[in-house]
A and B are shown apart, each in its own frame.
Chain A
């Protein structure tokens, strides 16, 4: 049989596997990420914790609670490890069943990292009474690609939308504050190695472009090496000055969430422009070898005002 003859049936079979409602702009990577998300949904629906967990990274998986907010000052660590998640999941699935549909709102991929937002909707069914409770929840997922498989590394549950107002931050972890302040000092010193020493190898940076709409966010760096490379050139041409305040820092086990407000001033080696910008950033940190390191950072998030009059949607 010639090559065409052998290839056609395979191509036909692959075409059948593609979802009928494949969205415009879909790529091989986004299809694989959808499959991972579907494992999670399907596992919850069937009460199969093992299937759910197969979608999660074995090395590291963290669940955060956004508390119905998009403002990171309202976020906290819900389950600090995959083991915690597993325990909570098994307990939950033993007493409830999730009859849910999942809409994938967006997927943003850069190299071997990605994030996605989903909206789950349907019913939660109480195992004992059979009582059905309507259920809707927005989630933010982070992923990394490992051996051609996309695995979820974190989920932020109860994510708010742009209508959810500001939250009051809680500064509860001095060691996290110290690390973030040290990092700011490294920017002021123009020390590339100093800046990146506080990052995990897989650290991801997202530019949120001052928006609370994740559809406008973009992963700009997929790992520490990429940030290093960028800083090598960047610090040659731009001089940064940072004044940082830590507005929120909360820890659960070896995981932490923090929010900073930076006043950044930049001057250029090649010109006269001078930029001053106020930035809010949400940091997801992990403790490794006793020291805190940034694993994901949402830079330039929406600059919410003071928390008075906040309307957190729960």
Chain B
């Protein structure tokens, strides 16, 4: 039996519920503590995943952090005593799963310790699953990762799958293979569950969805999932949080859907440097000339910070899609020494072997900075045919050039 979808909480209800909560607060109908208590009773009285249970989760999510203390208490069975006592195990299950879901939704990191206590097999599956999903929402935490890794060995494939998705969300790829196997080799129901989990994992699920998409199975369903994620990501491009905008922009580059070009273009004017560069990188991956223009213009900018961001972005783009190789090689002969220097760095870091010849020519560049960046690039490429040119650079008049030429020769090794 597969789990109730604990996160399929209708976003459309959020506004309405928020209004109710705000109105209640404004008119002083009851305190926040009382409102939380009322919603906890709704959790207790309705099956996990039912409409009313989800409504309570939504309402508590809208209340947010002011309700967190009461919800964390629901994760500890030892606290169900005195006036907080509940005499039916099913009630505990419903309140625990609800509390875990809400605390995950509001990203209440202080709940990690209580949440990990709900992972063990002493708890019911619904509670374990809610806690696993919530830990994925709470972000990286050493204790959470340690406890989740244990769940990867659980005998229940659903627990293993949910754990894998949660680990992926907190930047750990230990469960990546579990997810791939579930989709590629699981029965249709289990594969659907895995795709559904990825579909609901926002930008975290994109790299795996993209890899699966290339696998040739469940193509139509994966198309649908990527389409849904794309829409969610596009919506998030206007989020208040620059980190959400940045990650959404990056993921849209990976999704590879041209429909994202137009909304990404607006981010080239974003107030955050990082958001602009990640949006530009994604535009390049989507074959948008405007993205390339942005990055190469920044590469030639007088502002060192912009140049640095451009180099990082172009390395990433080249590594992921190889779409800027020709233009970078062309830059090696540009009149602007900044462009020559930057292009050499990028081609080296991205290990573009076809740039070896033009880079060797650059070892005799008039600008010392270009020569030392060329030496570094040749070191990264590690091609033995560059040894002679690098040997010559060890006689260079500029100390920095000599230093990096020796470093590059070391990278080439004896011979």
With A237-B41, A299-B87 given, is the CB distance from A218 to B47 under 8 Å? no
Whether the Cβ atoms of B85 and A270 lie closer than 8 Å is: no
Cα of A207 to Cα of B87 in the assembled complex, Å: 8
Question: Is A271 interfacial (CB-CB < 8 Å)?
Answer: yes
A135 neighbours in B (Cβ, 8 Å): none
A220 neighbours in B (Cβ, 8 Å): 80-82, 85
Within 8 A of A (CB), among B46-94: 46-47, 50, 52-53, 78, 80-83, 85, 87-91, 94
Whether the Cβ atoms of A273 and B41 lie closer than 8 Å is: no
What residue of chain A has the Cβ atom nearest to residue B78's Cβ?
A218
Binding stretch for chain B, among A42-50, A63-71, A167-175, A225-233: A225-233
Residue total for A at the interface (Cβ-Cβ under 8 A): 25
Number of A-B contacts (CB under 8 A): 67
Question: Which label, helix, strand, loop or mixed, suits the secondary structure of the B interface?
Answer: helix
Within 8 A of A (CB), among B130-165: none
Cα of A233 to Cα of B53 in the assembled complex, Å: 20
A272 neighbours in B (Cβ, 8 Å): 45-47, 50, 52
A233 neighbours in B (Cβ, 8 Å): 83
Whether the Cβ atoms of B41 and A226 lie closer than 8 Å is: no
Cα of A233 to Cα of B83 in the assembled complex, Å: 8
B47 neighbours in A (Cβ, 8 Å): 272-273
Partner of A270 from the list B42, B82, B89, B90 (CB cut-off 8 Å) is B42
Within 8 A of B (CB), among A218-254: 218-222, 226, 229-230, 233, 237
What residue of chain A has the Cβ atom nearest to residue B94's Cβ?
A273
Partner of B83 from the list A111, A226, A271 (CB cut-off 8 Å) is A226
B42 neighbours in A (Cβ, 8 Å): 270-271
Shortest CB-to-CB span from A106 to chain B, Å, is 13
Whether the Cβ atoms of A218 and B52 lie closer than 8 Å is: no
Question: Is A275 interfacial (CB-CB < 8 Å)?
Answer: yes
- For B294-318 the 0/1 string (1 means CB < 8 A from A) is 0000000000000000000000000
Partner of B46 from the list A110, A207, A271 (CB cut-off 8 Å) is A271
Shortest CB-to-CB span from A194 to chain B, Å, is 18
Whether the Cβ atoms of B50 and A218 lie closer than 8 Å is: no
Whether the Cβ atoms of A221 and B45 lie closer than 8 Å is: no
Whether the Cβ atoms of B85 and A268 lie closer than 8 Å is: no
What residue of chain B has the Cβ atom nearest to residue A222's Cβ?
B82
Question: Is A88 interfacial (CB-CB < 8 Å)?
Answer: no
Question: Is A189 interfacial (CB-CB < 8 Å)?
Answer: no
Cα of A262 to Cα of B61 in the assembled complex, Å: 38
A266 neighbours in B (Cβ, 8 Å): 88
Q: Which 8 A-B pairs have the closest CB atoms?
A: A271-B45, A268-B45, A271-B46, A270-B45, A220-B81, A270-B42, A270-B41, A220-B85
Q: Which residues of A contact B (CB under 8 A)?
A: 110-111, 207, 209, 218-222, 226, 229-230, 233, 237, 266, 268-273, 275, 277, 299-300
Given contacts A222-B82, A230-B82, A273-B90, 10 further A-B contacts (CB under 8 A): A110-B82, A218-B78, A229-B82, A268-B41, A269-B45, A270-B46, A272-B45, A272-B46, A272-B52, A277-B88
